[in-house]
């Protein structure tokens, strides 16, 4: 059964609109639930926001693929292509991912705090800012300019 007006399948449009609304509602509910859970945990706020944002992206991605499927597109070849593409991207960005994970561990472990004096190999500085991927240091020696050091850099 199909209701067509001016060559447009109205039932299909209604399904897409319902899927869009459901995706939006599920993303909001998931983010609210995670925010409530994180109120009771000692995670740094930066990590909590990242997890909430990532969960929204996952829900929106599932909603996108659901809508594409509702429009009659076969997702098999698309998903196989995305899988191969993600493997290539993972190899290309392995250093970035390593720095990101190290940054989460630095923030979570609170190994460094803003204002700490640190030494990386032969460079010394004071921690000015800590981000997920980098920490910014202000030099304490005249020979070292301000820099952003990847979070995975070794520190004694």
Last residue of a domain, one of 46, 74, 102: 74
Is residue 119 domain-resident?
Answer: yes
Is residue 87 a part of any domain in this protein?
A: no
150/10 Cα distance (integer angstroms):
53
User: Is residue 145 situated within a structural domain?
Assistant: yes
Residue 115 lies in a domain: yes
Which of 26, 41, 74 is the last residue before a domain boundary? 74
**How much is the pLDDT for 109?**
63
Domain limit, last residue, from 21, 39, 74: 74
Q: What is the pLDDT of residue 101?
A: 77
Q: Which comes out higher in pLDDT, residue 110 or 95?
A: 95
Q: Which pTM was predicted?
A: 0.56
Is residue 138 a contact partner of residue 146, using CB atoms and an 8 Å limit? Answer: yes
For 8-56, what is each residue's pLDDT tens digit? 788 888 999 999 999 999 999 999 999 898 888 877 787 788 889 999 9
Angle between helices 94-109 and 76-92 in degrees, nearest 10: 70
Our count of domains for the chain comes to 2
Please, which pLDDT band fits residue 58 given cuts at 50, 70 and 90? very high
Same domain, 111 and 60: no
Range of the domain at 97: 93-156
User: 107: number of CA atoms within 13 Å, CB side?
Assistant: 23
Residue 88 falls within a domain, yes or no? no
Q: How confident is the model at residue 144 (pLDDT cuts 50, 70, 90)?
A: very low
CA dist 151 and 57 (Å) reads 24
């Amino acid at each position: 059964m199909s209701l067509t007006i001016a060559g447009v399948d109205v039932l299909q449009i209604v399904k897409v609109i319902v899927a869009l609304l459901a995706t939006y509602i599920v993303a909001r509910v998931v983010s609210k639930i995670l925010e409530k859970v994180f109120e009771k945990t000692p995670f740094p706020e930066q990590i909590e926001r990242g997890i909430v944002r990532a969960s929204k992206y996952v829900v929106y991605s599932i909603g996108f693929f659901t809508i594409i499927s509702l429009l009659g597109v076969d997702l098999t070849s698309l998903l196989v292509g995305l899988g191969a593409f993600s493997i290539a991207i993972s190899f290309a960005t392995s250093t970035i991912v390593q720095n990101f994970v190290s940054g989460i561990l630095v923030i979570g472990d609170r190994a460094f705090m803003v204002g700490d004096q640190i030494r990386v190999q032969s460079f010394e500085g004071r921690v000015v800012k800590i981000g997920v991927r980098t920490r910014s240091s202000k030099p304490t020696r005249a020979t070292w300019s301000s820099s952003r050091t990847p979070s995975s850099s070794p520190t004694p």
